[in-house]
Amino acid sequence: FEYFLNSLKYYAVEESKEGVFSAYKREIPVHKVLMGAKTSIQSSVYESMRKQKIEVDLIYRFTDIFAWEIDFLTDTRKGDALKLIWEQHLSPEGRVVTQGRILAAQYINQGRTHTAIFFKDKENHSDYYTSEGKSLRRSFLRSPLNYRRISSGFSWNRLHPILRIYRPHLGIDYAAPTGTPIWAVAEGTVTFVGWNGGYGRYIKIKHAQGITTSYGHLSRYAKGIRKGVKVKQGQTIGYVG
């Protein structure tokens, strides 16, 4: 009997001649090969990478690496370009077992080059750094959602869908399926949770240096989110309405 934990590790249960069962944790022997891909953006990052046969999980890991530098919902433009190098794990028979770690990635956004290089130090701590050796991690994420399609950007005059009058819309509406998790873009303290007029279900968070972020049009709040609660960067605070 074999029970797979993931594509590489599994438990094997064997019965001895005496009828005693023993369980062993085993790993599928693999060898690593380096893979590379590059493409230019014609419609979206997701579609452009899928046309290059890049697996979905790898696409999301690529966008996660640049989560502090690029909002792939609003910043991308036709003509942008990207490259990545990653490890691919093969079985002894040459079958692809899994896509491994991304070792290097690059995204050229409107002429500006963003580079990420994987590095592990002597203490076994690993992360992604720029070509100058600076960590890509920042105090604020560029987007409150995982990579999705954008619906509308900043506008000083926007027709209110219900009131049918023009009102300033100083925020970004993200088009995502109802129930998609929304995360806090930075560490902070929740200062408001409740109904806020045209924004519907609404959350406001106070961050360091007097900065605040607001999240509206939610279908519901995440468990435990209330006024006064401290949240971490990337923590789910609510869900798309």
- Segment 55-65, tens digit of pLDDT: 988 998 999 89
Is the fold of 31-129 the same as that of 149-240? no
> Given this model, what pLDDT does residue 162 score?
42
Asked if 16 and 22 count as a contact pair (C-beta separation under 8 A), the reply is: yes
208 backbone dihedrals φ, ψ, rounded to 5°: -65, 155
Tens of pLDDT, residues 154-193: 343 444 444 444 444 456 666 567 788 888 999 999 999 9
| 22 burial level (CB within 10 Å; 0-12, 13-18, 19+) | exposed
Band (139; pLDDT cuts 50, 70, 90): confident
The third-level CATH classification (topology) of the domain covering 149-240 is Glucose Permease (Domain IIA) (2.70.70)
> Given this model, what pLDDT does residue 8 score?
67
Sorted by where each begins, the domain ranges of the chain are 31-129, 149-240
Cβ neighbors of 157 (< 8 A, separation 6 or more) are: 166, 167, 168, 169
- pLDDT exceeds cutoff 50 at 153: no
Q: Tell me which of 126 and 93 has the higher pLDDT.
A: 126
> Given this model, what pLDDT does residue 37 score?
96
- pLDDT exceeds cutoff 70 at 122: yes
**Taking residues 210-220, what's their average pLDDT?**
91
Asked if 110 and 41 count as a contact pair (C-beta separation under 8 A), the reply is: no
> Given this model, what pLDDT does residue 123 score?
86
Question: Which option is the CATH number for 31-129: 2.60.40.60, 3.10.450.350, 1.10.1040.50, 1.10.940.10?
Answer: 3.10.450.350
